[in-house]
Amino acid sequence: MVRWVVRLVGLGILLAAVTLPGVIGSVGSDIAPAYEETTISKYVASFDLDDRGDLTVTERLTVTFPYNGKHGIFRFWDLDDPNDTSARRVPAQIAVTRDGHEEPFSLSWENGRRYRVAKIGDPDVLIPPGDHVYVLTYRIDGVLLKGPDSDTSSFYWNLVPGGWQQSITRASLTVDLPVEAGEVQCAVGTGATDGCDVSGEDSRTLTVRASDLPPRTPVTLRTDLAMATPPAGHDVPWPRGLDSVLGASTSGALLLLAAALGLGFVGWLISRSTHEPTPPFPLMYAPPDGLGPAQAQYILTESVDKEGFVASIMHAAEHGAVNLQRDAAGWTLTDSSGAAGWAGLDTATRQVAGLLSGPGASFRAGRESVSAGKTLQSELAQHETAVKAWARREGYLTTAGLGSWAALLVLGAIGLAGFLIFTPVNGMRGYALAPGMFALGGIEVFAVGASTKRTTTGRDLWSRIGGFRRILSTPSAVDRFDFSGRQELYTAYLPWAVAFGCAEEWAAKYRAEVGAEPPTPGYFGPYVGGYGGDPTAGLINDFSSTVNAAISAYQATQSSSSSGGGGGFSGGGGGGG
């Protein structure tokens, strides 16, 4: 259940990161006006509309550069059509020449993919002062609107876009239609109804002339055609604010979403490969032979932590290998028997001997001791390594699925999704959905033990260890433990209860069965004051917290610290073509 909650929260974060920038950017996203030194003395354009509603355009601009220092011009195409909110007027097959020679240009997106932008010119070449002729050709599919009747269409187009930052001295515009034009309307300026000279009504060729156009002034033509309306070239069912997520193609969006769902399923399959069904836990009244508490903790949970390390020390003390002595400032461990005391103990418990140098040697664990913390942290890491190596060596655990490679793949997917959100390809953050969904599907590879799984032998051992934990952790009313004549088993099994995280439950079971407080292990020494009715629990907590405090004192000392360009292109714009 928790893993699906994590996935749902992650999905919400992913969708917000992908969609919100485009939705917010779509509000009031017109290109800001800017003063432009260059002017367009002649704007000659031809518009060839075929019977499929596709428009081929040639724009011939004579641009006057008053001084040296410019690299070229910009051309903006506004994909929005206020008369058809589901249509996207996407230019294609764009080509540019200057003074009869091919001119380099680069394409980008602005304002949440509302504007397709051509940056025309070589950034390493300055345009000499004077007049220069630019010829732009492009194609926009399916530009016709539904007409007043079911068998008519409307051609409603900004022949001169309203985004040009330059003033235009003269504009001559020719429109070739697939059928004769009906009533023709022509206007200069936003919201205007007249202002230009148009000829050719009731013919297939219209000619529009206008002069002395201020910057950002559109010239708009509208005429009805006696033909059925062809499909829009790019018609999508979502609002423009989602263009930066899904683009301007329904089929492309479906392909993207299918890829995202497919990769999410692949990630889920990788997660599934790390799952293991929990075996039954039959009651076990003793731990499996030859195991120590830290080893049992690892087989049970596929992790070994500080509690497992503390349990190993207690297990060594229980078998007479070390003595533990508490005082007001910490604990002292003393090797009581040398090599003979460690003989017969499991490999994880024997690893504790690294704290000591031989018979009679001591290790002081002070709560604020940096040197003790350094030693404990090192020994803790070696203890964990020893436990994991033992499980592999004995054949109890093996690699699950892709192992650690799965985590690397998911980490890479998270990084790629973040990169695609902050650096969208072609203005589309939606591409981040594919790696993002893969990461959400595979998120469980970061769970403890996800890179390993128990073998058949390991599962049998897991079942027996789980049964032993069950007897330590469940109330007497559920699973009884007969302490009659063997009350010493309470202290013998106490390290296991610490490793399993059920020391309090084990103590409660003793009280319920025996009717008295649990005995304090002899290896804790005589100092038991200050713990009220349950000195054992207090001593265990104090010993564990001392280990944690010493390690934290050492870690606190290990801190460390570390520590645009300009334009040069003339402004231009577009709107409705």
pLDDT at 576: 57
Query: Which regions of the chain are under pLDDT 50?
Result: 528-533, 560-575
Question: Residue ranges of the domains in the chain?
Answer: 39-236, 250-279+401-448, 293-400+452-555
Please give the structure tokens belonging to residue 33: 């006006």
Q: Which amino acid is at 163?
A: G
pLDDT at 369: 83
pLDDT at 569: 36
Q: Which amino acid is at 153?
A: S
E strand segments, 105-241: 105-110, 115-121, 130-140, 145-146, 153-160, 168-176, 181-188, 197-199, 205-213, 219-225
Alpha helices in 302-369 (DSSP H): 306-318, 339-342, 347-350
End-to-end CA distance of the chain: 52
pLDDT at 32: 57
Beta-bridged to residue 60, according to DSSP, are: 44, 135
CB atoms within 10 A of CB 522: 13
pLDDT at 358: 79
pLDDT at 536: 62
217 and 188 Cβ atoms separated by less than 8 Å: yes
243 and 112 Cβ atoms separated by less than 8 Å: yes
For 39-236, which CATH class?
mainly beta
Angle between helices 456-473 and 293-301 (to 10 degrees): 110
pLDDT at 112: 83
137 and 48 Cβ atoms separated by less than 8 Å: no
Beta-bridged to residue 324, according to DSSP, are: 333
pLDDT at 392: 92
pLDDT at 341: 86
